[in-house]
């Protein structure tokens, strides 16, 4: 599967992952020195996700990162000094010191939409970008990320439904890093694979080892190509782990030690280094040269950032509103006449197959049953059960559910045990008060 990557591309994947990690290590030290004025959110252990997915895009494509996607910014061409100065709120930062965390982008050159703090909101935004690109004939793909916790927000479902209904060229990376702050996935979602949610929207989904950068890249590249060929959207769930707390203030003591050890043994950079050696893609000299290149770049950009001035006071009143500071103009890459009458005219009448009824489905199931029975002369064919439509009647009035219909108890994987009153059903809580 990695044959499509050249030696240079393999080494670039390592370069960006290691640059991502070393950059964040330095920012942790700056944070402890009180030089970073905003929040700091680690992507330790998730570098393969950001780098592998962003590396699958072309320069014309658009992406919208979240707080743990610094690696994607590096792949898109943002220098480390932009990330240093942004978190230090320096005047030389992309936002001129008006923001102390990750809220910056570049719409003109790098086609990067600034992160949105409200989780899930990037999905409808990037769906709009994808649809606009198609309308203008740009043949672009839009990509964004969401966490396992963020997949429980309304914007996730509304945005993904819109993308599916419009067949938008959108790739959604669902980073299943096991924890929504301090809540494990099994306490918020009753399915093992979050990719199963794509079925509800009639779109394709993949599940990938998020700590294997080659597999991540391969899946992302396939998804990008499919979307560019108008066969999107596509959701990719990447299984990984957040090796640090939600932010620097969070020691993550709620994570079982055994779980940390399990994922530590699957560190994406260590695994990739071993892969490069086993496949004779590099040697000690090549690794040393790349590590030295990273060190030089970070030394230079960190020095620049620390010596940069803070923003002047008078800047606070500037740039609050857009007053002709930039022009907004559509980049048409197709003839406009294709989108104006009569070329775009369609008959204002909808054709609804089967009128939304069940008759065709029931007839099809009966045909399957008949075919199966005739193959052996017995109902059900080779002992297999013939699928039949099942309609479960709703309970009327105060009728009680049968035992098999009753709700099963909540799963309790970590922390809270059966005595926790919040996990008991209303009837049990009422009985407990007696």
For tokens 């199931």, the residue is: 365
**Residue 379: is its pLDDT beyond 70?**
no
pLDDT of residue 403: 43
Mean pLDDT value of segment 32-58: 92
pLDDT of residue 373: 61
**Residue 431: is its pLDDT beyond 60?**
no
pLDDT of residue 137: 94
Residue 100 backbone phi and psi in degrees, to 5 = -110, 20
Nearest residue to 302 (alpha-carbon basis) of 15, 19, 20, 27: 27
Total Cβ atoms within 10 A of residue 376: 12
pLDDT of residue 353: 80
Quick: pLDDT tens for 186-195: 888 888 899 9
Whether the CB-CB separation of 311 and 89 falls below 8 Å is answered with: yes
CA distance 301 to 305: 6
Mean pLDDT value of segment 19-48: 91
Nearest residue to 91 (alpha-carbon basis) of 253, 266, 278, 315: 315
Weakest-pLDDT range from 66-70, 143-147, 288-292 = 66-70
CA distance 200 to 210: 23
Quick: pLDDT tens for 222-241: 999 999 999 989 999 999 99
CA distance 173 to 327: 31
Quick: pLDDT tens for 322-370: 777 777 788 999 999 988 888 888 888 888 888 888 887 788 887 777 7
List Cα–Cα distances, 205 to 63, 172, 257, in angstroms.
19, 9, 31
In CATH, what class is 2-317? alpha beta
Quick: pLDDT tens for 87-135: 999 999 999 999 888 899 999 899 999 999 899 899 999 999 999 999 9
Q: What is the pTM of this model?
A: 0.81
**Residue 17: is its pLDDT beyond 70?**
yes
pLDDT of residue 424: 44
**Residue 309: is its pLDDT beyond 90?**
yes
The ranges assigned to domains in the chain are: 2-317
Kindly give, in sequence order, each residue whose CB lies less than 8 Å from that of residue 164, ignoring residues fewer than 6 positions away: 201, 202, 203, 233
pLDDT of residue 246: 83
């Amino acid at each position: 599967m990695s044959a499509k990557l050249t030696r240079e591309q393999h080494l670039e994947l390592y370069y960006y992952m290691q640059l991502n990690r070393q950059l964040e290590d330095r920012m942790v030290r700056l944070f402890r020195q009180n030089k970073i004025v905003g929040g700091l959110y680690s992507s330790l252990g998730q570098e393969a996700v950001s780098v592998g997915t962003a590396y699958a895009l072309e320069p014309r494509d658009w992406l919208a990162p979240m707080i743990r996607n610094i690696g994607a910014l590096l792949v898109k061409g943002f220098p480390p000094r932009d990330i240093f100065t942004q978190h230090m709120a320096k005047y030389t930062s992309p936002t001129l010191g008006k923001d102390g965390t990750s809220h910056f982008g570049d719409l003109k050159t790098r086609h990067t939409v600034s992160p949105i703090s409200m989780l899930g909101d990037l999905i409808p935004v990037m769906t709009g970008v994808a649809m606009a690109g198609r309308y203008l004939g740009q043949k672009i793909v839009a990509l964004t990320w969401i966490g396992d916790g963020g997949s429980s927000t309304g914007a996730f479902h509304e945005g993904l439904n819109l993308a599916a209904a419009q067949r938008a060229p959108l790739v959604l990376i669902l980073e299943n890093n096991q924890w929504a702050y301090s809540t494990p996935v099994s306490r918020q979602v009753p399915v093992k694979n979050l990719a199963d949610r794509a079925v509800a929207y009639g779109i394709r989904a993949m599940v990938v080892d998020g700590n294997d950068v080659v597999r991540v890249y391969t899946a992302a590249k396939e998804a990008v190509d499919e979307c560019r060929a108008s066969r999107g959207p596509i959701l990719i769930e990447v299984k990984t782990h957040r090796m640090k707390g939600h932010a620097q203030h969070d020691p993550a003591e709620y994570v079982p030690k055994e779980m940390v050890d399990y994922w530590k043994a699957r560190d994406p950079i260590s695994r990739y280094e071993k892969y490069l050696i086993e496949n004779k893609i590099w040697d000690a000299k090549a690794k040393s040269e790349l590590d030295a290149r990273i060190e030089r770049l970070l030394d230079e950009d960190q020095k620049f950032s620390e010596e940069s001035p803070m923003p002047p006071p008078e800047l606070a009143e500037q740039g609050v509103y857009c007053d002709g500071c930039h022009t907004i103009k559509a980049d048409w890459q197709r003839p406009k006449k294709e989108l104006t009458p009569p070329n775009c005219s369609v008959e204002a009448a909808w054709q609804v197959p089967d009128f939304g009824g069940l008759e065709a489905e029931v007839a099809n199931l009966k045909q399957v049953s008949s075919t199966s029975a005739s193959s052996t002369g017995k109902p059900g064919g080779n002992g297999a059960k013939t699928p039949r439509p099942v309609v479960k009647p709703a309970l009327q009035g105060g009728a009680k559910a049968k035992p098999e219909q009753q709700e099963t108890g909540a799963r309790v994987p970590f922390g809270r045990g059966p005595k926790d009153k919040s996990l008991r059903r209303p009837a049990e809580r009422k009985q407990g008060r007696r």
